[in-house]
Amino acid sequence: MKTLGHWIGGKAVDGTSGDFGPVHDPATGEQTTRVALASAEEVDQAVAAAKEAYQVWGTVSLARRSTILFAYRQLLDAHREEIAALITAEHGKVHTDALGEVARGMEIVELACGISEKLKGELSTEVSTRVDVASVRQPLGVVAGITPFNFPAMVPMWMFPLALACGNTFVLKPSEKDPSAAFRLAELAAEAGVPDGVLNVVNGAKPAVDRILEHPDVKAVSFVGSTPVARYIQEQAVRHGKRVQALGGAKNHMLVLPDADLDHAADSAVSAAYGSAGERCMAVSVVVALDSVADDLVARIAERAAALRIGPGSDPASEMGPLITGEHREKVASYVRGAAAQGAEVVVDGTGYTVPGHEGGFFLGVSLLDKVPAHSDAYRDEIFGPVLCVMRAGTYEEALALINSSPWGNGSAVFTRDGGAARRFQLEVETGMVGVNVPIPVPVGHHSFGGWKDSLFGDLHIYGNDGIAFYTRGKVITTRWPDPADTGGVNLGFPHH
């Protein structure tokens, strides 16, 4: 069995806390790795390494930072297969999906390569006689990221490439369930020329997170994970005077209007609900269909769901892999088992599913629940598994009211051929990201990602321009070079025109 420690000061170091967590291959159920769980002292070592490195990195030229990031991008490109294989081995998602995750993470590295353009600042000349004003953005210092299990490479890459490009140094605390991909990202960064201490990885659980949140030298915290923890992260970070962006969970609705192309809508719903076994914060977990097309749509979704090939992520024939742990599989299955008693119709029941030869794996079949009541657990909770709920509405207004009554506001989608209806939806829906005939509208790297309501605690979204704003602070410099013959003399008044 492999033992994974931490990456501090540019090298791998063993864990010293004596605590370890198990990492499984979800396709077999076997433990493959024990990951060190950092103590507060180990977090302090990582922060100290980052603080020391910041003394130099914060002053390294933009040209040099870009050069290193370009080299990093090239290394990631050369190692995409390997990183994807690490993701599949610990998360379970199928290899092509893992490759997509790496590609989407690399988009942020590509954005970071062009940081010089983004940090140009603003200059106004002659705002008053011989007075110029410049706005610049400077790094914060040591910043930290805490990431979830479901995108073990992409979500860390939403954070540290931009943070580093802006001149900060970084401490990453990846999910303890699948930590190897993030560790490899740090090794490759060092190979690309990121100096020692600029990017550190501490593995761990709540005690490590709590130390990050209270450490006086950590200036900002980016978090992605579930809503209860996101709320806690924001509260604790604010209590300790830190800047924070904490992205939480979701329940994403896909509205299907009667004029939609139903085959396209059914393909999209199935892909977006069951891809990555539903363990995506932007997964479509609820389809809201207008009554006139609901029966037809449910039949088309059920037909496609039944044909999905479920198996190990490393098997090219598999379209969907296992869930992350045995406990999580049981929790997801319990929503399907309890759905009928709470008034839903179970159209497809995936709870008894096994993959021959992989009986120990954390596999679950896909489930489709129709006519799901709004008060039922299957609708009210984020299930985070391959369970798609269908709800019906008589009118557009009824559907919109349902979607907007959700406490979450991450993503939503509308499927229609009517541009006017789509336009209305995109303005009226209360989510941070909206797709029009796009089921999972994850913004590309140069736009920013973030939800509303209980899907994001903080002000700035992640990556894109918001990411750059998050990892820098503004400074405005007012300069006057007076004419030596006319310094103006004493004037106690506030200057005016």
- Residues of this chain that interact with ligand NAD (CB under 6 A) are 146-151, 155, 173, 175-176, 205-206, 209, 224-226, 229, 232, 247-250, 281, 382, 384, 410, 451, 455
CA dist., res. 226 & res. 87, Å (int): 20
Distance CA 328, CA 265 (A): 29
Is 281 annotated in the active site? Answer: yes
Beta strands in 38-141 (DSSP E): 122-128, 131-139
Q: How far is the CB of 137 from ligand NAD (least distance, A)?
A: 24
Q: Give the pair of three-digit tokens for residue 276.
A: 């990555």
Nearer to ligand NAD, 176 or 370 (CB): 176
Cα 200 from Cα 11, distance rounded (Å): 9
Beta carbons of 28 and 326 less than 8 angstroms apart? no
CB nearer ligand NAD, residue 50 or residue 209: 209
Nearer to ligand NAD, 214 or 267 (CB): 214
Q: How far is the CB of 383 from ligand NAD (least distance, A)?
A: 10
Residue 223 dihedral angles phi and psi, to the nearest 5°:
-135, 140
In the bound complex, what is the minimum distance in angstroms from residue 237's beta carbon to ligand NAD? 11
CB of 148 to ligand NAD, least distance (A): 3
Strand partners, 385: none
- The C-alpha atoms of residue 278 and residue 285 are separated, in whole angstroms, by 8
Residue 461: phi, psi to the nearest 5? -75, 180
Kind plus residue range of the DSSP H or E element containing 118: helix 115-118
User: Alpha-carbon distance 26 to 358, whole Å?
Assistant: 10
Q: Which of 113, 166, 281, 389 is catalytic?
A: 281
User: Distance between the two ends of the chain, CA-based, in angstroms?
Assistant: 74
Measured at the CA of 27, the angle between CA 23 and CA 32, to 5 degrees, comes to 30
Q: Rounded distance, CA 110 to CA 69, Å?
A: 8
Question: Which of residues 370 and 382 has its CB atom nearest to ligand NAD in the complex?
Answer: 382
Cα 232 to Cα 206, 315, 454, 462, distances in angstroms = 11, 39, 12, 18
- Our measurement of the distance from residue 300's CA atom to the centroid of its chain's CA atoms, rounded to an integer in Å, reads 31
Residue 455 CB, nearest approach to ligand NAD (Å): 5
Strand 243-247 vs strand 20-25: parallel, antiparallel, or unpaired? unpaired
Q: Please, which residue, 252 or 416, has the CB nearer to ligand NAD? A: 252
Tokens of 275: 């891809």
User: Closest distance between ligand NAD and the C-beta of residue 68, in Å?
Assistant: 26
- When the beta carbons of 184 and 328 are compared against ligand NAD, the nearer one is 328
Strands 122-128 and 131-139, by their bridges, are antiparallel
> Which residue's CB atom is positioned nearest to ligand NAD?
225
Q: Which residue, 148 or 458, has its beta carbon nearer to ligand NAD?
A: 148
Q: Which of 299, 305, 306, 258 is nearest to 284 (CA)?
A: 305
Give the residue with the Cβ less far from ligand NAD, 85 or 229: 229
Contact status, residue 179 vs residue 147, Cβ threshold 8 Å: no
Q: Could you tell me if 112 and 67 are in contact, meaning their C-beta atoms sit under 8 angstroms apart? A: no
The three-state secondary structure class of 191 is helix
CB of 89 to ligand NAD, least distance (A): 17
Shortest reach from residue 205's CB to ligand NAD, in Å: 5
> Which of these, 203, 191, 198, 117, lies nearest to 163 by C-alpha position?
198
Catalytic residues: 281
